[in-house]
Structure 1
Amino acid sequence: MLKVKFVPQNIELEVAEGENLLEAARKAEIFIDAPCNGNSVCGKCKVKIVDGKVHTEKSRHIKDDECNEGYVLACCSKVTEDIIVEIPSNAGSAMHGMKIEDLSGEREQLIFEKAKSQALENGMEFKTYVRKDYIELDPPTLDDNISDFERIKRHLRTNLGYNQVFCRLPLLRKIPPILREANFKVTITHIPRGEGKTTIIRMEVGDSTNKLYGIALDIGTTSVAACLVNLQEGKLVAKASSGNAQIKYGADVINRIMYSTKRNGLEDLNNAIIKETINPLLDKMYRDSGIGRDDVVSFIAAGNTTMSHLFLGIYPDYLRMEPYIPAFVKAPFIKASELGININSETFIYLVPSVASYVGGDITAGVLSSGLWNSTENILFIDLGTNGEIVFGNREFLMTCACSAGPAFEGGEISCGMRAAGGAVEGIRINKENYEPAISVIGNEKPLGICGSGIIDLICELMLAGIIDRRGKLVKGLNTSRVRFDEHGIGEYVLVFKEHYGLEKDITITEVDIDNFIRAKGAIYSGLTTLLNSLGMDFTMIDKIYIAGGIGNSLDIENSIKIGMLPDIEREKISYIGNSSLMGCYLTLMSEDARHKLEDVGNQMTYVELSVEPAYMDEFVSACFLPHTDIEKFPTVKEILG
């Protein structure tokens, strides 16, 4: 056995000779960003060997000077002797300090209130399915000596009209001591089910009818956001968000599905989302609010179809193989104790129904909160995250599809890309005279990389300044040190010189990066076009476009149109609607009507599989240009470019 020591964590473990270094880090619970899941594609798992040697493969992601300093890609390296490995200081930025959409800002609160108002206008009653009742029972006597549970059932039948009352064994065990401690004056938390039926899930001493809480949770591929809600008042008590710990097993759903097929892979992914992500978020909200986990008696979660499978620990591999069949689209109610979630163990988990393999419950919840399902206007709903999902329709019809945009919008597949965390460049302007950039950085921190919104700005500004052509290729012969070419003739633009901020390397965007992003934006635009064409419609027939997803908060709509990601239509038709998945979960948490409508919405959506649409590939190829091969589709951009 060989020894591997990771610094600065000072964690050491023994591995077999030939062990992959990335896998060794995972065993040691050392976070190394690996968006491509160790396929040698992204170049993000860069580490430094400070003592000893490894057998490593040469990679275009490791420059000669970095190689001389001991840098290797962990995924391409095998342990052949005792080594000490230095993990870069910014390696954890993929997980920690992420700029994630929540409901705290003024803009988000307005979106939140609009969603609530819209639900009320559409006739939804805000009344949660969980009930709390304070009851005073007659203590047992020799003359009235029925069992404790029968005594409870008798009271509920006589006073509340429930003819059938149920509870599970864990609660039944608690009933005798609680009743006697409370002198038979208790509060029951129960869930009515059908005519005259209810299930008791909790019993407390005395009157605690004012303590009724639920969790709304959005399980994103990249990030997870949660709200703790007072179910009686509908108020947000606390909120929390973080990166999805599954990131260490790949940035996108395909890489995670592939990882799930490995030994213990599915268990690793399930633990990552529940034990390493969701439970810490819940614990943080409990600390912030002073509320106990047993007070949480309702839980609504939404995620894409892959995330839903991994959340429940269900093998997802058939999602990626034709004919792309999920194990389920509507999951049964599940007890929190079955998943190990840190809420009242008797609480039922409700997972928002999916539509198809690549259109999940997050989209169903988003359509619910957007009001699209009851609109008389033609609305295009676009969720821009790690995956790109689209819904088009109104109260008469709902069509949906998913675009294989990949992780570029989250900074994946981009050499200096990163997720929206502190230090990410999120806004860029370039002086057209001297080609010098002005940048805005999340948190006003030292720049570390470029996030999705920054990449859109950068590509747009490079095009407008004449630094790249419409194919995305850098123009040679410009009078600037910011454009340079390597020995293979591949160009790059230097956004930040390392000397200006004391960085380990320059922050650049290469022609390969630009090409990757053009394909991602092309997937979105061609998906929009194909979906509309399948209905015999075009962009002139759209009344509104709603943008949802993490990138939308910082998205420059104008620049998104100029690079050809969004259609060239009236800008006032386009608006950002926040974390629509989390909003939909909140509405479902607060309203039984919303839950029923949510399921109706899922059933109403017709899924279009783009890969079998004859025109899709032609549309995609045409969209892989700036802004498009047919400039007439972008008249305002044509005017700017001359």
Structure 2
Amino acid sequence: MASKKVTVTFTPGPRCIEIPPGLTILEAARLAGLNLAAPCGGAGRCGKCLVKITSVQEEHSPQWVLACQTTVRNSMNVELPASSLLILEKGQMRPVALEPAVFMDHGVVKHRAGIPMENSVAGEPLLGLAVDLGTTTLVGYLYDLTSGQPLAVASRENGQLSYGADVISRLAYALQGGVYYRELRQALAASLDQLVLDCCRLAGVHPCSIREIVTVGNTPMIHLLVNLPVQGLAAAPFQPAAKGPFYRNASELGLTSVAGAVCYLPPLIGGFVGSDALAAALAQGFGLPAAGTELLVDIGTNGEILLQAGDQLLAASAPAGPALEGGNIQCGMPAATGAISKVTMDYDVHPVVIGDGQPVGICGSGLVDAVAEMLRLHLIDSSGRLVNPSELPPVISFKIKQKLRQNAQNNRFTLSGDIYLDQRDIRQVQLAKAAVAAGIKVVLAEAGLGADALDALWLAGGFGNYLNPANALRIGLLGEVDCSKIHQVGNAAGSGAVMMLLSFAARGRAEALSGRFKHLELASDERYQEIFIRQLNFPDKEYGV
């Protein structure tokens, strides 16, 4: 006798799936191939997977529930939250001579690495795709390999978001066993497949015209895509199973839309410093003779820090946690429509909201702004304590004072409507900023340098692009660098991937560059632990301004 099934209908869409009773709504969404974000990985801690049950058989009263904690017993309709992440696509790229790995030689498709290639259909274009495979988002850049002309840029969320906002949550899920590993890997491959189709649809071309895909990403993402064991990444000394570079057929990676394409994955630098960091370093000219003393910082769940100082090339990854991307913050959210992305304060609080509508949360850049402004107005002291209203200076406006609410357990400051920061949020910011600042100091100390020796600090990635550098300095996120030396370079990882797609020589430079980096494992570095503790406090003043 067939076991009982119930139907879950997800909207918008709609998309229906039959499941056995007893699964959670989150598990049903995963099985349906829907990307329902669950930053804590379904542990019920973050409260961010809220969905609306609009009907349960004969019941019709809408009910908001946590998808990860709500078991499906009967057929139901579930309304998912709208998602419109602000995804950074543009980045600075150094010009390269057009010399792609895949080329046409007297009507025959060849690969400069000697990989056998199928012949193309007469009149079919020769296309290539560069992909930045991020923990949160994927960005694809489609190019004509014959002319070097860009054809399309597309982006989408990483389908693994429902398994946790950070790579540690996802690694923990994968380590539960083979079926869990495969589930996580399939979610990633499906997202990449859809990205390919998105690019092709925008350019009006067929996916079979894509002959090579260059993919860069952090170490766990690449391991999952290439089907490498991840046990070594889950505990010190955090060693990758293999560093690469890797050449794979697209079908080996689970891609069905471009099964015949060759996939190139550049080498990983080590630990949690992946090929995305290597690509960013390539795009910023690391390893070139004329380069100065430069620091490249890409702040995400893991803050990647690369230093070039003369012949020295150093790399490290600081465990910043998800706070600076809106995770572990009471009203935190990714940089999406409705997120407070900028904050200024004078006699009142002035938030800027993505999409110009009503705020529904605060993202990382807005969080840094808010904390910096609260420090400036003495709402927070240097220890990170959110002060009581009675302690505020007389010059603070009545409107500001009204927004600071004293509580016996946890003071809070209202930013707008129901959006607030409380003492727990401030502590999360302190942990995140201390991790990054301590990593920067250790890398500089390893090179025997102080912050004043830097010619430039390059901020890469989405968070770095929208960050106010002066406010980052005010909270102590970037150490003691002069603000005039900080430059935002956009999606440098994507730019480096494009360089390796268009230039086989650039690919060779990147591979040589990866071998020159000395990787510092901060988790086992005594200096890091000591400096981290000292960096927990906020600076008494803003540096470098």
8 Å Cα contact 2:460-2:490 kept in structure 1: yes
- Counterpart in the other structure of 2:87: 100
1:552 counterpart = 2:464: yes
1:15 counterpart = 2:8: no
Letter in 2 for 1:34: A
Letter in 2 for 1:75: C
8 Å Cα contact 2:131-2:497 kept in structure 1: yes
Higher relative helix content: 1
Give runs of aligned pairs for residues 24-63 of structure 1, distance below 5 A: 24-47=28-51
Give runs of aligned pairs for residues 271-420 of structure 1, distance below 5 A: 271-275=186-190, 277-341=191-255, 344-374=258-288, 375-420=290-335
Distance 2:105 2:446 in 1: 53
Distance 2:165 2:435 in 1: 18
Deviation at 1:287, TM superposition (A): 1.6
Give runs of aligned pairs for residues 453-464 of structure 1, distance below 5 A: 453-464=365-376
1:258 counterpart = 2:262: no
Deviation at 1:99, TM superposition (A): 1.2
Higher relative contact order (CA 8 A, sep 6+): 2
Distance 1:595 1:329 in 2: 15
Aligned length: 526
8 Å Cα contact 1:494-1:508 kept in structure 2: yes
8 Å Cα contact 2:500-2:506 kept in structure 1: yes
Distance 1:570 1:214 in 2: 40
- Counterpart in the other structure of 1:75: 68
Residue in structure 2 matching 1:430, options 345, 362, 367: 345
Please report the TM-score for the alignment, with normalisation by the length of structure 2: 0.89
Alpha-carbon distance change, 353 to 493 in structure 1, aligned in 2, over 3 angstroms: same
Distance 1:333 1:84 in 2: 45
Alpha-carbon distance change, 284 to 20 in structure 1, aligned in 2, over 3 angstroms: closer
SS of residue matched to 1:575: strand
Letter in 1 for 2:85: M
1:130 counterpart = 2:123: no
Distance 1:324 1:615 in 2: 18
Distance 1:193 1:476 in 2: 65
Distance 2:79 2:176 in 1: 25
Letter in 2 for 1:472: G
What's the CA shift string for 1:262-293, capped at 9, x where partnerless? 35222222221221x22222212212212221
Distance 1:481 1:635 in 2: 30
SS of residue matched to 1:389: strand
Distance 1:481 1:51 in 2: 41
Deviation at 1:572, TM superposition (A): 1.9
List alignment gaps of at least 5 residues for structure 1.
53-68, 120-124, 135-186, 498-505, 638-642
8 Å Cα contact 2:273-2:317 kept in structure 1: yes
Residue in structure 1 matching 2:156, options 231, 234, 242: 242
1:221 counterpart = 2:193: no
Distance 2:204 2:287 in 1: 38
Deviation at 1:256, TM superposition (A): 0.6
Alpha-carbon distance change, 8 to 290 in structure 1, aligned in 2, over 3 angstroms: closer
Distance 2:35 2:209 in 1: 33
Letter in 1 for 2:456: K
What's the CA shift string for 1:223-282, capped at 9, x where partnerless? 11110012222221100011111111111111111111235222222221221x222222
8 Å Cα contact 2:483-2:544 kept in structure 1: no
SS of residue matched to 2:116: strand
Distance 1:239 1:441 in 2: 25
1:540 counterpart = 2:452: yes
Deviation at 1:519, TM superposition (A): 0.8
Letter in 2 for 1:45: C
8 Å Cα contact 2:129-2:213 kept in structure 1: yes
What's the CA shift string for 1:203-238, capped at 9, x where partnerless? 323x65xx2211010001111111001222222110
- Counterpart in the other structure of 2:522: 610
Identity of aligned residues (%): 30
1:483 counterpart = 2:395: no
SS of residue matched to 2:68: helix
Larger radius of gyration: 1
8 Å Cα contact 2:54-2:76 kept in structure 1: yes
Deviation at 1:332, TM superposition (A): 3.0
Distance 2:379 2:519 in 1: 40
Residue in structure 2 matching 1:588, options 481, 484, 500: 500
Distance 1:33 1:6 in 2: 18
Please report the TM-score for the alignment, with normalisation by the length of structure 1: 0.77
Deviation at 1:439, TM superposition (A): 1.5
8 Å Cα contact 1:33-1:92 kept in structure 2: no
Letter in 2 for 1:132: M
Give runs of aligned pairs for residues 191-210 of structure 1, distance below 5 A: 191-193=111-113, 199-205=116-122
8 Å Cα contact 1:411-1:450 kept in structure 2: yes
RMSD: 2.6
Deviation at 1:579, TM superposition (A): 0.8
Deviation at 1:51, TM superposition (A): 7.1
SS of residue matched to 2:277: helix
8 Å Cα contact 2:35-2:160 kept in structure 1: no
What's the CA shift string for 1:30-75, capped at 9, x where partnerless? 54321111233322123456778xxxxxxxxxxxxxxxx9654343
8 Å Cα contact 1:218-1:226 kept in structure 2: yes
Letter in 2 for 1:428: V
Deviation at 1:133, TM superposition (A): 3.4
8 Å Cα contact 1:300-1:349 kept in structure 2: yes
- Counterpart in the other structure of 1:233: 147
Letter in 2 for 1:551: F
Alpha-carbon distance change, 8 to 395 in structure 1, aligned in 2, over 3 angstroms: same
Distance 2:147 2:11 in 1: 47
